[in-house]
Amino acid sequence: MIAIIIGLIVALIVFVVIVNVMQQHKEKLEAEKRVQIAKQKAIIDETEEIILNLTHLPPNPGIIEILNRRSLNAAKVMQRLVPEVKNIKKRVQELDARLKASVELSLNQVASDEAFILPDNEQQLIAILQCIKKLRAIIKSEQSKGILDAAVFMKQDQRLDAMQLKINIESLMKRGMQAYNKEMLGSARQYFEKALQTLANHPLKSEYIQAKQNEIEEKLEEITDALKNTNAKDAAKKAKDSEDDLDMLFQPKRKW
């Protein structure tokens, strides 16, 4: 009897341990599932926000197709994790329909930069730059996962890079002109020199880059001439002031 009791106690302890291990494993799986669901939801939310911000950029059906596919893939992962949730199934159907529409649009519409006009508002410029940086990070991630073709990635990344460069250059030139118009020639030269260096460091040499390099070099020559004239005027003024001081020093004293 003692042996049986001891055996039952040992069996009970083993059973409790096994149940506890299984429970912990189940909780671990549930926690991992929740993390995955939160991750996929964050991907969808981020993608939707970026799609809304694309209104500030030129039409690009290829990018919209990439973003819609990203959202759809994330929604499908969520559906596999929690197939019992009906709202996710409906969301997958909506995103699938949206992706098919964007694929058709990308086949019939060519991306163009003609409508890319920089806003005057500084905050809008910052928002556009942030959107472009996020887009480049997303397409790089999609390409590394094997979802995005390398050629498509290269084409879209170069296009986004060109827009990012244009924003930087146009912003520097705008600030340079503002300083120049206020006769802050030193500051103006710094802005234009920074813009010129940015163009020189860029790996690709497009027509835009060549045109801007010529334009900036002409402006720098104009600023250099203006600085020379300003320095000459300052020197002449100093010489005149010095001459006036000497005249005052050596002029005949009046008799009162």
Catalogue the long-range contacts made by 154-157 (C-beta closer than 8 Å, 24 or more residues apart): 155/62, 156/60, 156/62, 156/63, 156/66
Let me know whether 215 and 154 are in one domain: yes
Vertex 176: Cα angle to 171 and 177 (nearest 5): 100
Q: So what's the pLDDT on residue 98?
A: 92
* Residue 75 within a domain: yes
* Residue 10 within a domain: no
* Residue 74 within a domain: yes
Q: So what's the pLDDT on residue 110?
A: 63
Let me know whether 99 and 147 are in one domain: no
Let me know whether 31 and 81 are in one domain: yes
Whether the CB-CB separation of 173 and 185 falls below 8 Å is answered with no
* Residue 123 within a domain: no
* Residue 11 within a domain: no
**Residues shown for the chain:** 256
Q: So what's the pLDDT on residue 246?
A: 42
Let me know whether 159 and 94 are in one domain: no
The torsion of the CA quartet 147, 156, 41, 25, rounded to 10 degrees, works out to 40
* Residue 126 within a domain: no
Vertex 26: Cα angle to 21 and 28 (nearest 5): 95
CATH, residue 173: 1.20.58
Let me know whether 101 and 33 are in one domain: yes
Let me know whether 102 and 144 are in one domain: no
Last residue of a domain, one of 93, 109, 125: 109
Q: So what's the pLDDT on residue 132?
A: 93
Count: domains in the chain: 2
Tokens of 221: 């020559």
Let me know whether 229 and 164 are in one domain: yes
Let me know whether 140 and 177 are in one domain: yes
Let me know whether 140 and 204 are in one domain: yes
Q: So what's the pLDDT on residue 114?
A: 57
* Residue 209 within a domain: yes
DSSP 110-152: ---STT----S-HHHHHHHHHHHHHHHHHHHHHHHTTSS-HHH
Let me know whether 210 and 164 are in one domain: yes
* pLDDT profile of the chain (256 residues), mean per 10: 77 84 85 91 93 86 93 93 87 93 77 66 85 94 92 92 91 92 90 94 88 94 84 52 48 50
Let me know whether 154 and 218 are in one domain: yes
Whether the CB-CB separation of 157 and 140 falls below 8 Å is answered with yes
Radius of gyration over every alpha carbon of the chain, rounded to an integer in angstroms = 34
Let me know whether 226 and 141 are in one domain: yes
Q: So what's the pLDDT on residue 249?
A: 47
Q: So what's the pLDDT on residue 137?
A: 95
- Give the residue numbers spanning the domain of 203: 135-233
* Residue 178 within a domain: yes
Whether the CB-CB separation of 192 and 172 falls below 8 Å is answered with yes
